[in-house]
Chain A
Amino acid sequence: MKESVYSICGMCTVRCPVKVEVEDGVVKWIEGNPNDPGMAGRLCAKGSAGLAMLYDYERPQHPMIREGKRGEGKWKKASWDEALDYIADKLQAIIKKYGAKAIALSDRGGPFRDIHRSFLRAIGSPNYYNHDCTCARNVQHAALSLFGSGRKTFNYDYGSCKHLVLYGRNVFESLRVKQAGNIMNMLDCGGKITYIDPRAAGTAMKATRYWAIRPGTDYALNLGIIHTVLRDKLYDAEFVNQWVLGLKELESFVVPYTPEWAAGETGIPANEIVEFANEIAADRPAVIFHPGWMVARYSDSFYSIRSSYILNALMGAFEAPGGLFFQKGPGDVGAKGLKSLLDTIPKPEEMRVDGCGWKHKHFEAGPGLLHLLYPAILSEDPYPVKAYIAFRHDPLLSLPDPEAQKKAFDKLDLLVAIDANYSETSWYADVLLPSATYLEKSSVLTTGKGLKPSFGLRKQAVEPRNDAKPDWWIFKSLAERLGAGEYFKFKDMEAFWEWQLEDTGVTVSDLEKKGFVALTDKPVWWNRLKDLKFKTPSKKIEFVSSRLEASGIESFKPYASPQKPDEGYYRLAFGRSPVHTHGRTQNNPVLSEIMPVNQLWLNDEEAKKLGVANGEQVRVTSADGSHSGTINVYVTEFIHPESVFMVHGFGRKVPWQTRGYNKGLGDYRFETGLLGVYDPVGGANSLMECFVKVEKEENA
């Protein structure tokens, strides 16, 4: 029997709508949902390789309970009842002794969180985390400081953009399928891309301007641009007068930051900065200064991102075609939204253990900051945390310094991993629960915000293989064992969908027709001079931020020049390849064949000094000398001499993943001593405040 099932891809966190062709219970074909004009069949390498993940035998197949020491790799196969009872018994003992607040859970964010967030809330813990301290927290906080709402308030109208400015946002390799297509269309229509990165990544190959900036000086560049824009009156005065608070303060702040000064910091010639500012002004408001996505990089990233947002405001790029637009939700088109289970459960009264939202008022409570959980576990201040559940999240390879993280994990009574992959964290866990892949499960319905808000469907395409279970079933079963079953009365996802849709007038069969239901026919644009809904107390874009000032934090931070590496040392940068999802696909049979291993990018002049040639082995050692490994070197003029670079996610240590095991090196292992180093205002880890020693490997 043949059937087509509409679903949402789960290979990365972009979550593209897909169509899955199933024949006699076997997935044969996955393509981008043809009903969505932005997808029209399009899919990335990872998307197609979902098939390979589904049918791979090197994935967790049944629940496992640890028998040896943590990380030793000795496991006992368990039934679901055994494994869930084991977890529930441990959690109950922890709740009895320390309270439910001693349980923490982390995920990778996104639109499918309702069930597991509800689980945590229903048992009474406030300690929900996501991965965002190693991703977009700095962007989120920068947006909050200016607009009073988070980064997802806006999306980008790439198709009509005339000039897209990207600071290491590597759009053609850190892929979002629709976005990549739209940006390519923009280039075809004569649009420009300025790509700024110490390394000429894939996006540089298509850019109309490439600036090989000195690492860590993006903020200096932006200050130089803002100086020029204000000095030469290149901004959109009408928009700025209407919406901006604090222009005068900004003007006096940027006086010393001339383009000539910026040139000295960044290595970008002053005349090019001035030329760029004029070009941008000619193209406004159809310009986008992309604030970045994964910007857990430097300790001043917050101010750097904030200055990009400020440039968007100066260009009047909000709610303008070709600029940034407000994402509209169901309420903005007169429709009712989906019901949320989380909203039906009373919030725990306990404060977050990481202090976000109360001790650290400038850090949003929401998903908190996971790196602050580690010191709390170690110090038991303000209270002990004794259990940690990592749900499809791998902190040991996304946060810095796995050995430092393990010291905190060793104080836990229970570490659980729920994953469809063998993560590094799962290998260190007490219990590993195999969750079904996205093709084997239905998930909660999603709300897609944008110019045309919609609801989306991820429907199970095939039965779970082996003994994997959908995550909604895992959390429902755990909640029932912990006496919180009253909130989880739904029989299955289909029943849950019916409940989610109750107020909307949309039915499940409506969703099944195309995989989504648009809540409006026409894109919704607001009047950009009258109707913009900024959520700040002033209802304006606050260059001088009431949110920051309330915490005694300056709105404009004087620039501090980043440290230069010592002789023989380099700043370690990391990033993406178009065929791998962070650390989750290195063992995928299809993707590991295309890219089995990473290399170390090294500047050609530096390579001469070190006496290494392209393709030779080098030894890389962490700044404190505690971690070291060898890797093939890629010698190139297209990386700044202060930097070396490797694709993230390699150097895996789970032996059951034979294709990824010990291939290449993992940047996270070299980030020693950085678990507690973060942007003090943005909150995200400063992953690139990392220096490594590089030497020729003599024994190679």
Chain B
Amino acid sequence: MSKYYIYQDTKRCIGCFSCESHCKTKNNLPVGPRLTQIIPVGPKKINNLPRMSYVFMPCFHCQEPWCVAACPTGAMQKRPKDGIVFVDDTLCVGCKACITACPWGTPQWNPDTGKAVKCDYCMDRVDQGLDPACVTKCITKCLHFGDPAKKAQSKRDRHAKKVADFE
């Protein structure tokens, strides 16, 4: 697992698809590849109210990535310093092994280059101390980038406030 994490605060997510547009334009991608995607599920009636789930699907940047293991040319790599999984465009031969290997459909096909392309957490931005495009421009700030441990803490804090009992 990379040392980073994009945490989606589903309570604040409104399913506006902005993250997809931010990603697409930042990476200058043609029609076809979607490095992250919001998949809406629902609506369903929960406690008599309509509720929708907007599932945010970037790359998980796994500890032992299926895509890296499957790549025959070494194009798909895990960055040693922080675990970001990315494709080196110059080494990719377009064999699509990564697309086959990934259990979550993360690597995408770029028809313009004939190569694979995937979410790299906007590595160039991360290296400048910035957040990925999807996080930076999220309308409701439901996406958070950073340390998974801190996110777990903020969830606990919120839950604690909710259940706090002042007897």
Contact = CB atoms under 8 A, between A and B. Distances in A.
B138 interface: yes
B16 A205 contact: no
Contacts of A29: 25-26
B137 A188 contact: no
Contacts of B100: none
Contacts of A181: 139-141
Nearest to A579: B17
Contacts of B31: 589, 593
Interface string A194-206: 0000001010111
A519 B18 CA distance: 32
Interface in A204-239: 204-210
Interface in B49-96: 49-52
A51 B24 CA distance: 10
User: 5 closest pairs, A vs B, by CB?
Assistant: A45-B21, A578-B16, A200-B50, A205-B52, A172-B14
B6 to A, nearest CB: 15
Nearest to A200: B50
Interface in B1-50: 11-12, 14-18, 20-22, 24-26, 30-31, 34, 42-43, 45, 49-50
A273 interface: no
A52 interface: yes
Given A49-B21, A590-B25, A44 B139 contact: yes
B25 A49 contact: yes
Interface residues of B, number: 30
A628 B45 CA distance: 34
Contacts of A42: 137-139, 141
A41 to B, nearest CB: 5
A202 B15 contact: yes
A40 B135 CA distance: 11
Contacts of B15: 172, 202, 205, 578
B139 A51 contact: no
A205 B51 CA distance: 5
B21 A591 contact: yes
A46 B137 CA distance: 12
B21 A46 contact: yes
A43 B14 contact: no
Contact of A184 (B12, B24, B51): B12
A282 interface: no
A361 B25 CA distance: 49
Contacts of B52: 202, 205
A590 B139 contact: no
A175 B30 CA distance: 25
Contact of A207 (B22, B26, B49, B137): B49
A202 B31 CA distance: 26
B20 A594 contact: yes
Contacts of B17: 45, 578-579, 594-595
